[in-house]
Chain A
Amino acid sequence: MTEKPKLGVYICHCGINIAATVDVEAVTEYAQALPNVVIARNYSYMCSDPGQLLIKNDIKEKGLNRVVVASCSPRMHEPTFRKALQEAGLNPYYLEMANIREQCSWVHEDREAATAKAKKLVAAAVAKVRLLEPLTSREVDAEPAALVIGAGIAGIQAALDIADAGFKVYLVEKSPSVGGRMAQLDKTFPTLDCSACILTPKMVDAASHPNIELLAYSEVEEVGGFIGNFEVKVRKKARYVDVSKCTGCGDCAKECRLAGRFPNEFDEGLGKRGAIYLPFPQAVPAKYTIDPEKCLFLTRGKCGKGPKCVDACRAGAIDFEQKDEIVSFKVGAILVATGFDVFDPVRKPEYGYAGYPNVITGLEMERLVSASGPTGGNIVIHNGEEEIVPKDIAFIQCVGSRDQSVGNEYCSRVCCMYTAKQAHLVKDKIPDARVRVYYMDVRAFGKGFEEFYDRVRREGIRYVRGNPSEIFKRGNKLVIKVEDTLTATPLEDEVDMVVLAVGLEPRGDARKIIELLRLSQSPDRFFLEAHPKLRPVDTATDGVYLAGCCQGPKDIPDTVAQAKGAAASALIPLARGKVAIDAQVAEVNEATCRGCGFCVSICPYSAIELVTVNRMGHMVEVARVNEALCKGCGSCSAGCLSNSIQPKSFRDRQILPQIAALGGTR
């Protein structure tokens, strides 16, 4: 590098966020004395327009060719300052940031220690910036297609938006039908419109949209590549039914020798199905599926004198020879909408869910009140002795939410309102029923929620503030032990039926998605967004977006809003048709590389290959980096035996001076 480094160091007060703990004047004075520093300044807000102008003017007037900004985390404002450098005609990669806010002023109280640390961090940045190299970011074409994982309301909405914008969408759903949790619901709060009535048209739209390829009963197996160029492999599980022939008539299911023998997942086990089944009447696609774990022919190779479904099917659609199929395709963006599981109340044994058939979950209640449910919408329940129409019904809120004993500190956000709605539906169907709701706090925060809560109380539903401690059986009644905490009265309430307002939890198989897409989890175990406020649909993996309850509990309007937001984000690379490739990739010094190939075996992206070059008349093998594939992690570099492969901006010779500055004098 021929030109002499001329540094500008800019120390930010961040109002008082930094200045209150770090003596910015002292740091400025210290920085001014560091080698190659032409100018050191401090300013109240470096990221503001006047702050950036300060840098730009100095670059132009003082001929600076390197800039250090000591302020917040580079994860926050590195792009801002890079842009400022670029606007002043300097290569944007001639910037180094010292994190003196998140990792200094905010985490230390001792002003002296924090100032001393800030000086060291600035010294390390100064040491590194002198040795940085100019880089240029490049662009590659983005595949004009998207993958949406999960076809509940979030996935369906996002897929429809992306498809309507004119791009191909692969919509992958693990279960036999699209629809997700919303399809299981009866009415939706607070408007009481029928869930299926508003959802099914969208399900049909998604399946019939010319730009959407629906892969139901399929799971994503492998994801490679990066934003703009993901390579995806999906396993289409064998249905043992030829979907091109199946008419959905249902003759097969009626004839199945095991008809009505297994709990139907869609009805939360309240209804029954056979080995060949359609999860629910409005299922999309309306194609039957054979359960390979239940079917006699598939498990034992024998079904009476021959499978009855085969005889029953006039279309000849049953195909026991069918195999799983792997489908591969490329997409530019991936949207994750994998939804939630409900809390399993077996983990709260005091409520007796495992033992009492008349203690049910909120989701089971949805199926029980649904006209398409196993009872045709009549609330009848077995109390252990007989089928009854319950007259005394209690709801218990916050089961598995706001409860540290089960590891769920968060509020599930929907249970207060779905309980209010179900209480209303009970009153609607059994007008003389006595309905009580045991609650900790009622959170009616959404549009129309408080009004709805008031309405159900006017309908005669009694809210009792108290968290029940136990449910036990007395005769053919259930007894709830609870303290009314508003009057400090211990109560015993005899009821016919208890509905547990179970909370929302991350999917049991969320781990698979995490490993597939390199996602992170927040402390509540839901998927972590890139920023809690400003990037709520992005993830740390570029090109992967989140929608719906996989990111955290939400109601339907919030889910749809987030799905539309995620779709808009996913459309950015697709609509532009290009994505920027990080310039901070690895580079090989071909003069010293000895071609051992160790880096080739380390690289997780297969971005390095051995090529033969002519080195002073000798043909030798050396490593070469494919910059489009390299992600700049630097694992190759730490493994290289001759220090010949180095990630740009994180070279040994750029990091070692940082170490020297931080080690330095004590």
Chain B
Amino acid sequence: MSEQFEPNIVAFLCNWCSYAGADLAGTSRVQYPANIKIIRVMCSGRVNPLFVVNALQQGADGVLISGCHPGDCHYMEGNFYARRRLKLLKELLEFIGVDPRRFNMSWVSASEGHKWKEVVEKAVEDARAAGPFDQFRRRQIGW
């Protein structure tokens, strides 16, 4: 068997759309790579850009953030804030030399189990192509 790099990806999903969509993928027995590990937050707007940086520091090779479709946010505007903040973050990461493929954002609704699979597969492929991440790993942070 050829040794394929298996990236470790941390995902932040909003409770109302994407987390429910990922649950639906499970209920529908949609299969996708196990590289992704999900942290539930109430809204994608809760995701502090520093969480993304922190995940990369802690040894994740990629980060995925997923929320409700723009306009459908359970909290009205949270995903707009997320989009604005994380777009800037993506540019900043690229600026400081982090492969932009390590950071993905998506909009997955509670009824899009199949879309969730596609989103995960893309994030895994992207992170795999970017390779193991160790640019931030010089020091370990203990909480």
Contact = CB atoms under 8 A, between A and B. Distances in A.
Q: Are these two chains actual partners, yes or no?
A: yes
Interface of A: 73-76, 99, 101-104, 106-110, 113-114, 116-117, 120-121, 124, 514-515, 518, 520-523, 528, 540-541, 584, 602, 604-605, 631-635, 637-639, 647, 650, 652-653, 655-660, 662-666
Nearest to A663: B58
A102 B27 CA distance: 6
Nearest to A102: B26
Given A604-B78, A638-B46, 6 more contacts: A108-B34, A116-B34, A514-B72, A518-B76, A523-B111, A604-B77
A638 B65 CA distance: 14
A73 B42 contact: no
Contact of B54 (A104, A121, A584, A656): A656
B107 interface: no
Interface string B5-18: 01010100001110
**In the complex, which of the residues B34, B61, B73, B110 has the most CB atoms of chain A within 10 Å of its own CB atom?**
B34
B59 A106 contact: no
Nearest to B28: A106
A65 B105 CA distance: 37
B19 interface: yes
A107 B54 contact: no
A326 to B, nearest CB: 21
B19 A650 contact: no
Given A102-B26, A107-B31, A659-B39, A638 B74 contact: no
A73 B22 CA distance: 10
A634 B42 contact: yes
A116 B112 CA distance: 26
A518 B72 contact: yes
Contacts, number: 167
A666 B59 contact: yes
B104 interface: no
A659 B54 contact: yes
A152 to B, nearest CB: 25
6 contacts: A106-B26, A521-B111, A650-B41, A652-B48, A662-B39, A666-B61
A124 B37 contact: yes
A633 B78 contact: yes
Report the interface size class on chain B.
35 or more
A660 B77 contact: no
A639 B43 CA distance: 13
B46 A647 contact: yes
Contacts of A540: 16, 20, 74, 110
A74 B40 contact: yes
A635 B75 contact: yes
Interface of B: 6, 8, 10, 15-17, 19-20, 22-23, 25-27, 29-34, 37-43, 45-49, 51, 54-61, 68, 71-78, 81-82, 85, 109-112, 117, 132, 141, 143
Contacts of A657: 143
A533 to B, nearest CB: 11
Contacts of B33: 108
A520 B14 CA distance: 14
B143 A107 contact: no
Contacts of B32: 107-108
B111 A108 contact: no
A528 B23 contact: no
Contact of A541 (B8, B41, B74): B74
Contacts of B8: 662-663, 666
Nearest to B43: A633
B47 A659 contact: no
A218 to B, nearest CB: 24
A635 B81 contact: yes
A99 B46 contact: no
A515 B70 CA distance: 11
Contact of B49 (A74, A514, A638): A638
A243 to B, nearest CB: 35
Contacts of B81: 602, 635, 638-639
A632 B74 CA distance: 11
A636 to B, nearest CB: 9
A311 B75 CA distance: 53
Nearest to A224: B76
A558 to B, nearest CB: 21
Contacts of B41: 634, 650, 655
Contact of B143 (A113, A637, A660): A660
Contacts of A632: 42
A66 to B, nearest CB: 17
A655 B39 contact: yes
A637 B109 CA distance: 23
Contacts of B77: 604, 635
A542 to B, nearest CB: 11
Contacts of B34: 104, 107-108, 110, 113-114, 116-117
Contacts of B82: 638
B128 to A, nearest CB: 13
B137 to A, nearest CB: 10
B109 A521 contact: yes
Nearest to A109: B31
A658 B73 CA distance: 24
Nearest to A660: B58
A658 B41 CA distance: 11
Contacts of B10: 659, 662-663
A529 to B, nearest CB: 10
Nearest to A631: B75
A604 B141 contact: no
Contacts of B19: 73, 75
A104 B36 CA distance: 10
A528 B46 contact: no
Instruction: List the 9 closest A-B pairs by CB distance, nearest first.
Output: A663-B58, A102-B26, A634-B46, A635-B45, A633-B75, A106-B26, A633-B43, A113-B34, A663-B59
A124 B143 CA distance: 13
B22 A103 contact: yes
A634 B58 contact: no
Contacts of B110: 520, 528, 540
Contacts of A103: 22-23, 26, 38
Nearest to A656: B143
